[in-house]
DNA sequence: ACCGCCGGGTGCC
DNA sequence: ACCGCCGGGTGCC
């Protein structure tokens, strides 16, 4: 979700999206020392989604004068047990959003609270309704959340100590205090129970949308040239992304959900305020569906924006024979190389012999590439990444030129020694060598590195092992050969644990597994000892799971600027967003409790509430039925005969068991799908590819639903109905029934339909004007295409046909036939909407007749693109047949909505399950004119 | 006076 | 805390 999508001007059928997320604010509260064994209390995996509100209770916070933490009226506070308090083992601390202690819960109340909290009977949340200026005590409104089955125990325990909880106010207690609507921490007028402001998904989304740079495809003013040291010309969208990234890194605006009011800085979610300006996040989320250039754009960013938009000061080296280092720079070894220090920042990870050094570094460099090329290794998933190293011979064998490379490396070491410059060694790519030769000067000139800027200079890049070599390759490819960039590949058993060494690099490259294993191995992780200029998480969705070690390891990195690069930003839900926003240090979301209170619960609760008048039960449970009926309506718009073979739909068996019912639904879905109807997948919102039907009778693309199952295991739920989802229950189903060459000899006599009449009228008219003009006739229903064949023959048209059920050979024939300009070649092609890939070239056609509308405008666009593409010399005219006052008109209005969504800023690329659900419901409502 | 009352000292857990 | 509580000073009216 929350991704922005600006495709090419054709709009929806885009082949490239580049999405940008950003967010603000740095929370540097976490000290260095804390990072290792911080017991993340929120890490325990309670199913917070199942929690219900038990009720509210007013209490008192005491001891205010002993603590520095302050609160506003109406501000959220956190309750924290303090079992080791020497005065009372039941002590319960009260902290403000910043984590500063405000006071304690009065001991009489602390006693039952301690029991409730310690036994996890409920999660207790607080809001200070008023008394912000009190000197000694202040009231606190507490709410108790937990699993239904624990409610009584909580009530009993409170009662035992003489407290009685007020029952929740009906419907108004959803994530109280999250004032996205009122949006501010004003004076409190709150009655007991507190004003609850419900946040809908829409409101939330619009708040988050503010974070996203609104890059417009045609806005060339936003472009920025890549730094000159980038040897590759950036594409327009990369220039835009680069400009946006630089803007984000130098941005001075308040982070989202923060406002300045009366010289204070207010957080509108929690009502927390502070005098100090919250630090902004310098960075964001860069999402790119296609993997087209995140890496290059990021490399450009590293070189272009070191400080205040000024480029990274790098050395320029010019010589006739040099070797550039990637992955391995080597150093002046303590004392044993006569190195001129001002310009030689080459580092060595060992102080032993130089050639050994090089070799060790190379070994942390080459196996990756060979692995990537050898299926045996590339198939290994990251989780299987191991510290074990292949025997060296194996490695060498897999890369033909490695032995030479090694030799060269050694030679370059000698070269270093000879000249006194440890400026270059290791393996140049052939391309690089070529470039170097072209430069062809024999002198070595080193531009002085400007180290006058304070603070860190190093960018840490973390990526999955499988793309490590890609980074190295791209750095090698895109950076001008005369630029010396210090890169250290922090990988392999010999990786240096010296933070000093790392801090002298321009780029340190490592993998999530190394990051995690270093983090887990008691404090010798140099990655976590340093403060980085910039940390980049490539394929950043790998930190989606908040409990994963690599997520914790990533969250505990110190950096001034933070970036998440991802191809699949948010899979299923808001939950996935937490780690990402937390990594960006978007206050107050670093703490999962605050995230849950301010965003997740209000949104999910709000959604439930949103379904009260048009319930899930009435639509989604009968989703397949509704689709079946709609399909028949759509077919009727085309031709009455299309409905004849769907008679099994109407079987209204009464005494069905749930299992029979389910089977019926699945069968219906099968029929709907095999009719050729263009249905869409609720995960990707695109036309179905490899459709599969779930046990609960919902349809998704196989890859989409498999990913859901994968990422949510072991308890994956259907994105549409939250029913249990199991791989083995998925029913595959062919896209189109193969009615090819098994043309159904319908018993009925052929009859025309309005659409057929209109089509024939147009075709005959066209032929009169220009007998050579070629037309595509497109429908989702292959049976409809078959019905059209009859009048075509009668009127003497030569036509060919292409649908999904045809074997590849026949397809090629059909296309060649149609594309031919010879006299007597077919002038008409009957085309099934989804037949053929994007690459299908039908430029011979200059007219397209679309017989029936599809759900997804992109599917239609794609179809038009098949003739309206490079090589097309004529104007293309598209005619759509739509039956007035029918379901088809409503489908058009849905298409328009989708087009707007896709064209506008931040179309919801990956919506949450609930959004999908709501969209579906709305669509169905539109279709049946509700 | 093994009380009441007064008023100062004092104050989370 | 413009409270409560504690404990010392004090003691008819």
The full DSSP string for A343-391 is T-----S-SS-HHHHHHHHHHTTHHHHHHHHSHHHHTS-GGG--S----
**Domains of chain A by start residue, with CATH:** 315-448+484-506 (no CATH), 617-732 (3.30.40.10), 754-883 (3.40.50.300)
Q: Is the CB of A113 under 7 A from strand B?
A: no
Report the interhelical angle of A913-927 vs A201-209 (nearest 10°): 120
Token pair 């060339």: residue: A220
The separation, in Å, between residue A213 CA and nucleotide C12 C1' comes to 87
For A320, phi then psi, to 5°, come to: -85, -20
Q: Which nucleotide is nearest to A64 (CA to C1')?
A: B12
The separation, in Å, between residue A65 CA and nucleotide C8 C1' comes to 28
Percent above pLDDT 70 for chain A: 61
- Residue A744, exposed/middle/buried by CB under 10 A (0-12, 13-18, 19+)? exposed
CA A143 to chain centre: 34
A137/A199: higher pLDDT: A137
| A 43-62: CB within 7 Å of strand C | 62
**Cis peptide preceding A246, ω within 30 of 0:** no
Q: Which nucleotide is nearest to A65 (CA to C1')?
A: B12
Nearest to A281 by CA among A217, A211, A353: A211
Q: What is the pLDDT of residues A814-854, one digit of tens each?
A: 888 998 888 889 999 999 887 755 567 788 889 999 999 88
Q: Is the CB of A88 under 7 A from strand B?
A: yes
The full DSSP string for A216-268 is -TT-GGG--PPPTTB-SPPPHHHHHHHHHHHHHHT--SPPTTEEEETTEEEET
The separation, in Å, between residue A674 CA and nucleotide B7 C1' comes to 94
pLDDT-wise least confident of A222-231, A469-478, A652-661: A652-661
The separation, in Å, between residue A659 CA and nucleotide C3 C1' comes to 69
Q: Where are the alpha helices (H) located in A795-886, listed in sequence order? A: 808-819, 857-865
Q: Is the CB of A137 under 7 A from strand C?
A: yes
Locate A871 and state its tokens.
Answer: 């090589």
Q: Which nucleotide is nearest to A87 (CA to C1')?
A: B13
Q: Is the CB of A107 under 7 A from strand B?
A: yes
Is the CB of residue A847 less than 8 Å from the CB of residue A833? Answer: no
Strand C: which nucleotides have any atom within 7 A of a protein Cβ?
Answer: 1
Q: What is the pLDDT of residues A196-210, one digit of tens each?
A: 344 555 556 555 654
Q: Is the CB of A110 under 7 A from strand B?
A: yes
Determine the 3-state secondary structure of A917 from DSSP: helix
Nearest to A121 by CA among A55, A196, A192: A55
Residue A714 scores a pLDDT above 90: no
- Residue A368, exposed/middle/buried by CB under 10 A (0-12, 13-18, 19+)? buried
Token pair 């037309």: residue: A775
Residue A214 scores a pLDDT above 50: no
Nearest to A642 by CA among A631, A658, A650, A651: A631
Binning pLDDT at 50, 70 and 90, where does residue A900 land?
low
The separation, in Å, between residue A79 CA and nucleotide C3 C1' comes to 26
Beginning with the edge strand found earlier in the chain, give each strand of the sheet holding A273-274 in spatial order. Answer: A258-261, A264-267, A273-274
> Which residues pair with residue A20 across a beta bridge?
A286
Q: Is the CB of A63 under 7 A from strand B?
A: yes
For A132, phi then psi, to 5°, come to: -60, -30
* Whole-angstrom distance, CA of residue A630 vs CA of residue A633: 5
Mean pLDDT value across residues A602-620: 51
Q: What is the pLDDT of residues A119-133, one digit of tens each?
A: 999 999 999 999 999
* Whole-angstrom distance, CA of residue A48 vs CA of residue A661: 32
For A565, phi then psi, to 5°, come to: -105, 130
CA angle A695, A697, A703 (to 5 degrees): 75
pLDDT-wise least confident of A144-153, A472-481, A713-722, A842-851: A713-722
Mean pLDDT value across residues A17-31: 34
Give rounded-to-5 percent helix, strand, coil for chain A: 40, 15, 45
Q: Is the CB of A66 under 7 A from strand B?
A: yes
Q: What is the pLDDT of residues A552-593, one digit of tens each?
A: 999 999 999 999 887 654 433 466 678 877 887 888 888 888
* Whole-angstrom distance, CA of residue A698 vs CA of residue A735: 15
The 3-class SS string of A436-482 reads HHHHCCCCCEECCCCCCCCCCCCEEEEECHHHHHHHHHHHHHHECCC
Query: CA A21 → CA A581, A839, A902, distances in Å?
Result: 10, 31, 17
* Whole-angstrom distance, CA of residue A143 vs CA of residue A176: 10
- Residue A678, exposed/middle/buried by CB under 10 A (0-12, 13-18, 19+)? buried
Is the CB of residue A680 less than 8 Å from the CB of residue A688? Answer: yes
* Whole-angstrom distance, CA of residue A606 vs CA of residue A201: 7
The separation, in Å, between residue A702 CA and nucleotide C10 C1' comes to 91
The 3-class SS string of A647-672 reads HHHHCCCCCCCHHHHHHHHHHHHHHH
The separation, in Å, between residue A151 CA and nucleotide C4 C1' comes to 35
Is the CB of residue A579 less than 8 Å from the CB of residue A545? Answer: yes
Is the CB of residue A910 less than 8 Å from the CB of residue A686? Answer: no
Average pLDDT over chain A reads 70
Is the CB of residue A568 less than 8 Å from the CB of residue A528? Answer: no
Q: Is the CB of A66 under 7 A from strand C?
A: no
Quick one: which residue's CA is nearest to C1's C1'? A136
Q: Is the CB of A89 under 7 A from strand B?
A: no
Is the CB of residue A512 less than 8 Å from the CB of residue A382? Answer: yes
The separation, in Å, between residue A44 CA and nucleotide C13 C1' comes to 73
* Whole-angstrom distance, CA of residue A637 vs CA of residue A852: 8
Strand B: which nucleotides have any atom within 7 A of a protein Cβ?
Answer: 12-13
Residue A419 scores a pLDDT above 70: no
The separation, in Å, between residue A136 CA and nucleotide C2 C1' comes to 14
Q: What is the pLDDT of residues A522-549, one digit of tens each?
A: 778 999 999 999 999 998 878 888 888 9
Mean pLDDT: which of A477-491, A826-840, A860-874 is highest? A477-491
Is the CB of residue A161 less than 8 Å from the CB of residue A113? Answer: no
Mean pLDDT value across residues A901-919: 53
Quick one: which residue's CA is nearest to B12's C1'? A63
Q: Is the CB of A337 under 7 A from strand B?
A: no
Rg (CA), chain A: 32
Nearest to A585 by CA among A566, A562, A601, A565: A562
A47/A455: higher pLDDT: A455
For A12, phi then psi, to 5°, come to: -70, -35
Residue A101 scores a pLDDT above 90: yes
The separation, in Å, between residue A137 CA and nucleotide B4 C1' comes to 32
Q: Is the CB of A136 under 7 A from strand C?
A: yes
The separation, in Å, between residue A413 CA and nucleotide C10 C1' comes to 98
Give the model's pLDDT for residue A661. 63
Q: Which nucleotide is nearest to A135 (CA to C1')?
A: C1
Binning pLDDT at 50, 70 and 90, where does residue A866 land?
confident
Is the CB of residue A876 less than 8 Å from the CB of residue A846? Answer: yes
A925: Cβ contacts below 8 Å, ≥ 6 apart: A614
* Whole-angstrom distance, CA of residue A296 vs CA of residue A300: 6
Nearest to A58 by CA among A154, A128, A150: A128
Q: Is the CB of A750 under 7 A from strand B?
A: no
Nearest to A195 by CA among A176, A217, A180: A176
* Whole-angstrom distance, CA of residue A455 vs CA of residue A532: 9
Q: Is the CB of A83 under 7 A from strand B?
A: no
Nearest to A782 by CA among A636, A675, A643: A675
Q: Which nucleotide is nearest to A136 (CA to C1')?
A: C1
């Amino acid at each position: 979700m929350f991704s922005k999508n600006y495709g090419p001007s054709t709009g929806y059928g885009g082949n490239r999206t580049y999405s940008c997320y950003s967010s603000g604010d740095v929370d540097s509260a976490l000290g260095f020392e804390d990072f290792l064994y911080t017991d993340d209390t929120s890490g325990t995996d309670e199913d917070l989604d199942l929690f219900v509100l038990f009720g509210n209770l007013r209490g008192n916070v005491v001891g205010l004068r002993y603590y520095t933490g302050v609160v506003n009226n109406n501000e959220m506070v956190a309750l924290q047990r303090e079992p080791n308090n020497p005065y009372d083992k039941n002590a319960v601390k009260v902290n403000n959003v910043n984590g500063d202690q405000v006071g304690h819960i009065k001991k009489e109340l602390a006693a039952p609270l301690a029991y409730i909290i310690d036994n996890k009977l409920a999660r207790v949340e607080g809001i200070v309704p008023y008394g912000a200026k009190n000197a000694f005590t202040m009231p606190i409104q507490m709410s108790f959340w937990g699993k239904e089955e624990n409610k009584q125990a909580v009530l009993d325990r409170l009662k035992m100590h003489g407290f009685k909880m007020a029952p929740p106010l009906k419907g108004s207690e959803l994530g109280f205090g999250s004032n996205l609507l009122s949006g501010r921490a004003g004076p409190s007028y709150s009655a007991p129970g507190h004003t609850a402001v419900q946040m809908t998904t829409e409101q939330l989304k619009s708040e988050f949308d503010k974070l996203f740079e609104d890059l417009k495809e045609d806005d060339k003013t936003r472009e920025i040239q890549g730094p000159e040291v980038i040897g590759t010309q950036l594409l327009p969208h990369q220039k835009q992304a680069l400009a946006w990234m630089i803007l984000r890194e130098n941005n001075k605006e308040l982070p989202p959900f923060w406002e300045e009011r009366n010289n204070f800085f207010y957080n509108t979610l929690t009502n927390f305020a502070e005098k100090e300006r919250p630090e902004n996040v310098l960075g964001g989320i860069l999402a790119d569906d296609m993997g087209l250039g995140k890496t290059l754009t990021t490399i450009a960013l590293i070189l272009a924006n070191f400080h205040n938009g000024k480029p990274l000061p790098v050395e320029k080296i010019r010589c006739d024979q040099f070797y550039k280092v990637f992955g391995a720079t080597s150093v002046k070894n303590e004392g044993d190389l006569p190195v001129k220090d001002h310009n030689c920042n080459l580092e060595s990870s060992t102080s032993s012999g130089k050639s050994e050094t090089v070799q060790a570094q190379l070994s942390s460099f080459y196996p990756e590439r060979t692995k990537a090329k050898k299926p045996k290794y590339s198939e290994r998933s990251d989780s299987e990444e191991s510290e074990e190293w292949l025997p060296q011979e194996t490695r060498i064998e897999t890369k033909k030129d490695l032995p030479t490379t090694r030799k060269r490396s050694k030679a370059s070491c000698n070269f270093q020694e000879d000249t006194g410059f440890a400026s270059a060694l290791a393996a140049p790519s052939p391309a690089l060598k070529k470039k170097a030769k072209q430069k062809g000067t024999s002198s070595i000139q080193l531009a002085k590195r400007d180290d006058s800027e304070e603070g860190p200079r190093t960018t840490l890049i973390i990526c999955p092992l499988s793309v490590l070599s890609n980074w190295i390759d791209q750095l090698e490819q895109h950076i001008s050969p005369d630029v010396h960039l210090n890169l250290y590949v922090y990988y392999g058993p010999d990786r240096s644990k010296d933070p000093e060494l790392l801090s002298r690099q321009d780029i340190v490259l490592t993998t999530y597994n190394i990051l995690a294993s270093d983090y887990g191995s008691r404090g010798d992780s140099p990655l976590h000892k340093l403060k980085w200029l910039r940390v980049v998480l490539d394929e950043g969705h790998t930190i989606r799971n908040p409990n994963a070690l690599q997520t914790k390891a990533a969250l505990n990195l110190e950096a001034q600027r933070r970036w998440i690069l991802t191809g699949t930003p948010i899979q299923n839900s808001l939950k996935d967003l937490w780690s990402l926003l937390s990594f960006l240090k978007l206050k107050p979301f670093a703490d999962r409790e605050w995230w849950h209170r301010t965003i997740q619960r209000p949104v999910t609760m709000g959604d439930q509430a949103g379904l009260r008048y048009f319930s899930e039960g009435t639509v989604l449970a009968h989703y397949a039925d509704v689709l079946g009926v709609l399909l028949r309506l759509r077919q009727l718009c085309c031709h009455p005969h299309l409905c004849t073979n769907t008679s099994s739909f109407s079987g209204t068996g009464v005494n069905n068991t749930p299992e029979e019912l389910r089977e019926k639904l699945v069968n219906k879905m099968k029929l709907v799908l095999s009719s050729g109807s263009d249905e869409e997948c609720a995960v990707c919102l695109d036309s179905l590819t490899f459709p599969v039907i779930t046990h609960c009778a919902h349809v998704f693309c196989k890859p989409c639903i498999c990913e859901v199952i994968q990422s949510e295991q072991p308890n994956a739920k259907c994105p549409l109905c939250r029913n249990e989802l199991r791989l083995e229950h998925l029913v595959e189903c062919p896209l189109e029934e193969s009615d090819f060459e098994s043309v159904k000899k319908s018993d009925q006599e052929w009859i025309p339909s309005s659409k057929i009449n209109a089509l024939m009228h147009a075709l005959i008219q066209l032929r009169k004007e220009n007998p050579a003009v070629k037309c595509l006739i497109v429908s989702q229903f292959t049976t409809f295409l078959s019905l059209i064949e009859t009048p075509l023959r009668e009127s003497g048209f030569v036509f060919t046909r292409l649908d999904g059920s045809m074997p590849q050979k026949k397809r090629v024939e059909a296309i060649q036939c149609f594309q031919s300009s010879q006299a007597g070649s077919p002038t008409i092609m009957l085309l099934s909407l989804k037949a053929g890939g994007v690459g299908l070239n039908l430029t011979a056609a200059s007219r397209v007749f679309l017989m029936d509308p599809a759900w997804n405008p992109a599917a239609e666009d794609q179809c038009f693109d098949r003739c309206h593409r490079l090589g097309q010399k004529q104007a293309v005219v598209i005619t759509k047949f739509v039956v007035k006052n029918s379901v088809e008109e409503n489908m058009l209005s849905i298409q328009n909505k989708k087009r707007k969504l896709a064209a506008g800023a931040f179309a919801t690329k990956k919506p949450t399950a609930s959004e999908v659900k709501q969209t579906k419901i709305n669509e169905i409502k539109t279709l049946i004119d509700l």
